Amino acid sequence: MRVPMIAGNWKMNTTVGEATELVKAMRAGLDQIANVDKVICPPFISLAVVKELIRGSSIRLGAQNLYFEEKGAYTGEISPLMLADLCEFVIIGHSERRQYFNETGEIVNKKLRAALKVGLKPILCIGEKLEENEARRTEEVVTEQLESSLAGIDSLDGLIIAYEPVWAIGTGKAATGRQVSETIGLILYNIAQLYDEEVAQQMRILYGGSVTADNIAEFVQQSEIDGALVGGASLKANEFLSIVRQTSEIKGHLSR
């Protein structure tokens, strides 16, 4: 059985003080919700503080990025070893990194390998842009992203995939549950081809893109969708709590 997951990607938001306030506002409520992996991904500089604040709770911690080298003269970068000490998950290949920081499939692949090597659980983001979607190239783009990201990686243990269509991120225009389910079917097919049916069956796949407390139900009602990677709505304690709570209630009796 795959445990549902809701992960909050805080992106480049919150000072250390604001991160502290946000965690304090959601800690008790989140801790009470069972049967969902609850992950928060604050900016790097808040990881250590947040780690202390959630100690003893069921809330889990993730980073938003990493560099693929373990240490050395890479000014300003954060290594997998530094993160392995602090958190459990790491978002890799987010479309904002692909778009603004020129992350290619090859770089994403190196980052994935580096994360898996030190036991971090990557949340690999894939998804097509608006023009690709309109040109009906979703299948081709998603397939290519999976193949290049996973090239030469033998074991996907711990890996989670987030399908985030770029046109749905931060736009208020979420995909429909049906659209997402269809693409997840394609992702699963690819995973089964690249690995095997069992790996595909165990793979957790999240949806991301304008998820809110008002639309989360539509996604988690689909048995193929294991949860969500939430951006903007994860910065509001009550809304994030509502998203996690609804997921717990709806997933209580569903399986793929």
Catalytic residues: 94, 164
- Positive or negative, the CA dihedral 169, 95, 90, 49 is negative
C-alpha torsion angle, residues 7, 11, 15, 19 (rounded to 10): -10
Per DSSP bridges, beta strands 121-126 and 160-163 are: parallel
Tokens of 138: 């979703």
Tokens of 140: 């081709």
Quote the least distance from Cβ 15 to ligand 13P, whole Å. 19
Tokens of 196: 């095997």
- Tell me which of 80, 122, 208, 227 binds ligand 13P, using CB under 6 A: 208
Q: Does 93 bind ligand 13P (CB under 6 A)?
A: no
Quote the least distance from Cβ 75 to ligand 13P, whole Å. 26
Nearest residue (CB) to ligand 13P, 17 versus 170 = 170
Which of helix, strand or coil describes residue 160? strand
Distances in Å between the Cα of 229 and the Cα atoms of 15, 56, 73 are 21, 23, 32
Residue nearest to ligand 13P (CB): 231
Q: Does 209 bind ligand 13P (CB under 6 A)?
A: yes
Q: Does 9 bind ligand 13P (CB under 6 A)?
A: yes
Nearest residue (CB) to ligand 13P, 124 versus 156 = 124
Where on the chain is the footprint of ligand 13P (CB under 6 A)?
9, 94, 164, 169-170, 208-211, 229-233
